[in-house]
Protein backbone atom coordinates (compact mmCIF):
# COMPACT_ATOMS: atom_id res chain seq x y z
CA UNK A 1 0.00 0.00 0.00
CA UNK A 2 1.36 3.46 -0.87
CA UNK A 3 1.79 6.19 1.72
CA UNK A 4 -1.12 8.19 0.24
CA UNK A 5 -3.42 5.17 0.34
CA UNK A 6 -2.55 4.59 3.97
CA UNK A 7 -3.65 8.13 4.81
CA UNK A 8 -6.93 7.76 2.91
CA UNK A 9 -8.00 4.45 4.42
CA UNK A 10 -7.09 5.54 7.95
CA UNK A 11 -9.09 8.74 7.59
CA UNK A 12 -12.20 6.95 6.30
CA UNK A 13 -12.25 4.56 9.22
CA UNK A 14 -11.85 7.29 11.84
CA UNK A 15 -14.40 9.93 10.95
CA UNK A 16 -17.91 10.00 12.43
CA UNK A 17 -19.45 12.83 10.43
CA UNK A 18 -22.84 12.65 12.16
CA UNK A 19 -21.12 13.32 15.47
CA UNK A 20 -19.17 16.23 13.98
CA UNK A 21 -22.16 17.91 12.31
CA UNK A 22 -23.30 20.14 15.21
CA UNK A 23 -19.90 21.84 15.64
CA UNK A 24 -18.74 21.58 12.01
CA UNK A 25 -19.56 25.18 11.11
CA UNK A 26 -17.52 26.54 14.04
CA UNK A 27 -14.35 26.28 11.89
CA UNK A 28 -13.98 29.50 9.88
CA UNK A 29 -13.58 27.75 6.52
CA UNK A 30 -16.52 25.42 7.23
CA UNK A 31 -19.26 27.76 8.41
CA UNK A 32 -17.98 30.81 6.46
CA UNK A 33 -19.51 33.03 9.15
CA UNK A 34 -16.71 35.61 9.02
CA UNK A 35 -17.54 37.95 6.11
CA UNK A 36 -13.87 38.09 5.05
CA UNK A 37 -13.54 34.31 4.89
CA UNK A 38 -16.90 34.00 3.13
CA UNK A 39 -15.89 36.63 0.57
CA UNK A 40 -12.56 34.86 -0.05
CA UNK A 41 -14.34 31.59 -0.85
CA UNK A 42 -17.01 33.36 -2.91
CA UNK A 43 -14.28 34.98 -5.05
CA UNK A 44 -12.57 31.63 -5.64
CA UNK A 45 -15.82 29.85 -6.42
CA UNK A 46 -16.77 32.55 -8.93
CA UNK A 47 -13.47 31.99 -10.70
CA UNK A 48 -13.69 28.18 -10.62
CA UNK A 49 -17.36 27.58 -11.55
CA UNK A 50 -18.86 28.35 -14.99
CA UNK A 51 -19.57 32.03 -15.68
CA UNK A 52 -23.21 31.34 -16.58
CA UNK A 53 -25.85 29.73 -14.33
CA UNK A 54 -24.96 26.05 -14.26
CA UNK A 55 -25.94 22.73 -12.70
CA UNK A 56 -23.48 22.04 -9.89
CA UNK A 57 -23.16 18.73 -8.04
CA UNK A 58 -21.63 19.34 -4.59
CA UNK A 59 -20.48 15.93 -3.36
CA UNK A 60 -19.92 15.47 0.36
CA UNK A 61 -21.61 18.85 0.73
CA UNK A 62 -21.45 18.78 4.53
CA UNK A 63 -23.54 21.55 6.06
CA UNK A 64 -23.92 23.17 2.62
CA UNK A 65 -21.70 26.24 2.99
CA UNK A 66 -20.21 26.05 -0.52
CA UNK A 67 -23.59 25.07 -1.99
CA UNK A 68 -25.04 28.24 -0.49
CA UNK A 69 -22.31 30.36 -2.10
CA UNK A 70 -22.93 28.63 -5.44
CA UNK A 71 -26.69 29.28 -5.42
CA UNK A 72 -25.92 32.86 -4.44
CA UNK A 73 -23.96 33.10 -7.70
CA UNK A 74 -26.96 31.92 -9.72
CA UNK A 75 -26.16 28.20 -9.98
CA UNK A 76 -28.57 25.33 -9.43
CA UNK A 77 -27.10 22.96 -6.85
CA UNK A 78 -27.56 19.32 -6.00
CA UNK A 79 -25.76 18.45 -2.78
CA UNK A 80 -25.06 14.89 -1.64
CA UNK A 81 -23.82 13.79 1.77
CA UNK A 82 -23.80 10.37 3.39
CA UNK A 83 -24.25 11.77 6.89
CA UNK A 84 -27.95 12.39 7.65
CA UNK A 85 -26.98 15.03 10.24
CA UNK A 86 -24.83 16.94 7.74
CA UNK A 87 -27.50 16.65 5.01
CA UNK A 88 -30.19 17.95 7.38
CA UNK A 89 -28.07 21.01 8.20
CA UNK A 90 -27.47 21.61 4.51
CA UNK A 91 -31.22 21.40 3.83
CA UNK A 92 -31.88 23.99 6.51
CA UNK A 93 -29.13 26.28 5.20
CA UNK A 94 -30.40 26.05 1.62
CA UNK A 95 -34.14 26.25 2.31
CA UNK A 96 -35.80 28.53 -0.23
CA UNK A 97 -32.91 28.30 -2.73
CA UNK A 98 -32.62 26.42 -6.04
CA UNK A 99 -30.98 23.46 -4.37
CA UNK A 100 -31.71 19.81 -3.65
CA UNK A 101 -29.89 17.97 -0.88
CA UNK A 102 -29.72 14.19 -1.07
CA UNK A 103 -28.45 11.68 1.43
CA UNK A 104 -26.14 9.18 -0.24
CA UNK A 105 -22.66 8.03 -1.11
CA UNK A 106 -20.53 10.62 -2.91
CA UNK A 107 -18.74 7.81 -4.72
CA UNK A 108 -22.04 6.76 -6.36
CA UNK A 109 -24.37 9.75 -6.00
CA UNK A 110 -28.10 8.96 -6.26
CA UNK A 111 -28.72 11.36 -9.17
CA UNK A 112 -30.11 8.91 -11.75
CA UNK A 113 -29.71 10.13 -15.33
CA UNK A 114 -29.08 13.76 -14.35
CA UNK A 115 -25.89 15.33 -15.71
CA UNK A 116 -24.01 18.39 -14.45
CA UNK A 117 -21.80 21.25 -15.62
CA UNK A 118 -19.56 21.04 -12.57
CA UNK A 119 -18.70 18.48 -9.93
CA UNK A 120 -17.65 20.41 -6.84
CA UNK A 121 -15.89 18.52 -4.05
CA UNK A 122 -14.16 20.10 -1.08
CA UNK A 123 -12.25 18.03 1.48
CA UNK A 124 -14.04 14.77 0.64
CA UNK A 125 -12.10 12.86 -2.03
CA UNK A 126 -9.29 12.11 0.43
CA UNK A 127 -11.80 10.31 2.69
CA UNK A 128 -13.21 7.98 0.03
CA UNK A 129 -11.96 4.37 -0.06
CA UNK A 130 -11.13 4.50 -3.80
CA UNK A 131 -10.56 8.05 -5.08
CA UNK A 132 -9.57 6.85 -8.57
CA UNK A 133 -12.84 4.95 -9.04
CA UNK A 134 -14.84 7.91 -7.70
CA UNK A 135 -13.20 10.29 -10.20
CA UNK A 136 -13.93 7.90 -13.07
CA UNK A 137 -17.58 7.72 -12.04
CA UNK A 138 -17.88 11.50 -11.57
CA UNK A 139 -16.50 11.96 -15.07
CA UNK A 140 -19.60 10.15 -16.40
CA UNK A 141 -21.85 12.62 -14.55
CA UNK A 142 -20.37 15.63 -16.36
CA UNK A 143 -21.83 17.10 -19.54
CA UNK A 144 -19.46 17.74 -22.45
CA UNK A 145 -17.36 20.79 -21.55
CA UNK A 146 -18.09 20.26 -17.85
CA UNK A 147 -15.50 20.57 -15.13
CA UNK A 148 -14.23 19.19 -11.85
CA UNK A 149 -13.63 21.69 -9.05
CA UNK A 150 -11.76 19.76 -6.37
CA UNK A 151 -10.46 21.41 -3.21
CA UNK A 152 -8.18 19.08 -1.30
CA UNK A 153 -4.99 19.04 0.74
CA UNK A 154 -2.75 17.18 3.13
CA UNK A 155 -3.44 18.16 6.73
CA UNK A 156 -1.10 17.85 9.68
CA UNK A 157 2.57 16.99 9.89
CA UNK A 158 2.86 14.22 12.50
CA UNK A 159 0.19 11.91 11.00
CA UNK A 160 -0.79 13.68 7.79
CA UNK A 161 -4.10 12.82 6.11
CA UNK A 162 -5.23 13.82 2.67
CA UNK A 163 -4.24 13.55 -0.95
CA UNK A 164 -1.23 15.43 -2.39
CA UNK A 165 -1.91 17.56 -5.49
CA UNK A 166 0.54 15.56 -7.63
CA UNK A 167 -1.36 12.34 -6.97
CA UNK A 168 -4.72 13.95 -7.70
CA UNK A 169 -3.48 15.46 -10.96
CA UNK A 170 -2.10 12.06 -12.02
CA UNK A 171 -5.50 10.47 -11.37
CA UNK A 172 -7.32 13.19 -13.31
CA UNK A 173 -5.08 13.50 -16.34
CA UNK A 174 -6.46 10.45 -18.22
CA UNK A 175 -10.02 11.75 -17.70
CA UNK A 176 -9.82 15.41 -18.71
CA UNK A 177 -8.55 17.79 -21.42
CA UNK A 178 -7.03 20.40 -19.12
CA UNK A 179 -5.97 20.52 -15.46
CA UNK A 180 -5.08 23.62 -13.46
CA UNK A 181 -3.80 23.57 -9.87
CA UNK A 182 -4.09 26.58 -7.54
CA UNK A 183 -2.09 26.47 -4.34
CA UNK A 184 -4.20 27.83 -1.48
CA UNK A 185 -1.93 27.46 1.57
CA UNK A 186 -0.59 31.01 1.40
CA UNK A 187 -4.08 32.56 1.43
CA UNK A 188 -4.95 32.92 5.11
CA UNK A 189 -8.26 34.69 4.35
CA UNK A 190 -9.59 31.37 3.05
CA UNK A 191 -8.83 29.57 6.30
CA UNK A 192 -9.29 32.34 8.83
CA UNK A 193 -5.71 31.75 9.97
CA UNK A 194 -2.18 31.11 8.69
CA UNK A 195 -1.66 27.52 7.50
CA UNK A 196 1.52 25.79 6.41
CA UNK A 197 0.29 22.40 5.21
CA UNK A 198 -0.61 21.64 1.59
CA UNK A 199 -3.98 23.07 0.47
CA UNK A 200 -4.96 23.46 -3.13
CA UNK A 201 -7.74 23.46 -5.70
CA UNK A 202 -7.78 21.63 -8.99
CA UNK A 203 -10.00 22.84 -11.81
CA UNK A 204 -10.12 20.28 -14.61
CA UNK A 205 -12.15 20.59 -17.82
CA UNK A 206 -13.42 17.54 -19.71
C1 LIG B 1 -14.57 17.70 5.71
S2 LIG B 1 -16.29 17.58 5.40
C3 LIG B 1 -16.46 18.69 4.00
C4 LIG B 1 -17.86 19.22 3.84
C5 LIG B 1 -18.03 20.24 2.69
N6 LIG B 1 -17.61 19.68 1.43
C7 LIG B 1 -17.28 21.51 2.98
O8 LIG B 1 -16.25 21.73 2.33
O9 LIG B 1 -17.70 22.28 3.86
C10 LIG B 1 -16.46 15.99 4.66
C11 LIG B 1 -17.91 15.66 4.33
O12 LIG B 1 -17.92 14.55 3.45
C13 LIG B 1 -18.95 13.67 3.85
N14 LIG B 1 -18.62 12.33 3.39
C15 LIG B 1 -17.56 11.56 3.76
N16 LIG B 1 -17.57 10.41 3.07
C17 LIG B 1 -18.67 10.46 2.25
C18 LIG B 1 -19.22 9.59 1.30
N19 LIG B 1 -18.67 8.40 1.02
N20 LIG B 1 -20.33 9.97 0.66
C21 LIG B 1 -20.93 11.16 0.91
N22 LIG B 1 -20.44 12.02 1.81
C23 LIG B 1 -19.33 11.68 2.48
C24 LIG B 1 -19.02 13.80 5.35
O25 LIG B 1 -20.26 13.39 5.87
C26 LIG B 1 -18.76 15.30 5.52
O27 LIG B 1 -19.96 16.02 5.48
pLDDT in tens, 36-68: 999 999 999 999 999 999 999 999 999 999 999
What is the C-alpha to C-alpha distance for residues 66 and 56, in angstroms, rounded to an integer? Answer: 11
CATH label of the domain that carries residue 47: 3.40.50.150
**pLDDT single digits (tens) 130-172:** 999 999 999 999 999 999 999 999 988 778 899 999 999 999 9
Return the bridge partners of 103, or none. 81
- State which H helix or E strand residue 49 sits in: none
What is the C-alpha to C-alpha distance for residues 38 and 193, in angstroms, rounded to an integer? Answer: 13
The rounded Å distance from CA 82 to ligand 1 centre is 7
Q: Whose CA is nearest to atom 1 of ligand 1?
A: 123
Instruction: Residue count of the chain, please give it.
Output: 206
Using alpha carbons, select from 150, 78, 65, 148 the residue that is nearest to residue 109: 78
What is the C-alpha to C-alpha distance for residues 84 and 185, in angstroms, rounded to an integer? Answer: 31
Question: Does the structure show a pLDDT above 90 at 12?
Answer: no
Q: Are 28 and 34 in contact (CB under 8 A)?
A: yes
pLDDT value for 158 = 79
Question: Does the structure show a pLDDT above 90 at 81?
Answer: yes
Question: Does the structure show a pLDDT above 50 at 87?
Answer: yes
- Domains held by the chain: number: 1
The rounded Å distance from CA 206 to ligand 1 centre is 24
Give the atom of ligand 1 at the shortest distance from the alpha carbon of 17. Answer: 25
Single pTM value for the model: 0.94
Q: Which domain holds residue 179?
A: 3-205
* β-pairing verdict for 178-183 and 198-205: antiparallel
Question: Does the structure show a pLDDT above 60 at 2?
Answer: no
SS3 200: strand
What is the C-alpha to C-alpha distance for residues 138 and 135, in angstroms, rounded to an integer? Answer: 5
Q: Are 172 and 179 in contact (CB under 8 A)?
A: yes
Amino acid sequence: MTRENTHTVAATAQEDWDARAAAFDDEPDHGLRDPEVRAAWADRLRAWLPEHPADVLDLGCGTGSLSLLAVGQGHRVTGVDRSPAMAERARTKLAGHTATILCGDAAAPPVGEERFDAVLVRHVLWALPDPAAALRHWRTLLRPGGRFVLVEGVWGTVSPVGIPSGRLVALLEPLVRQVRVEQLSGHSRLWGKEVDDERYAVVATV
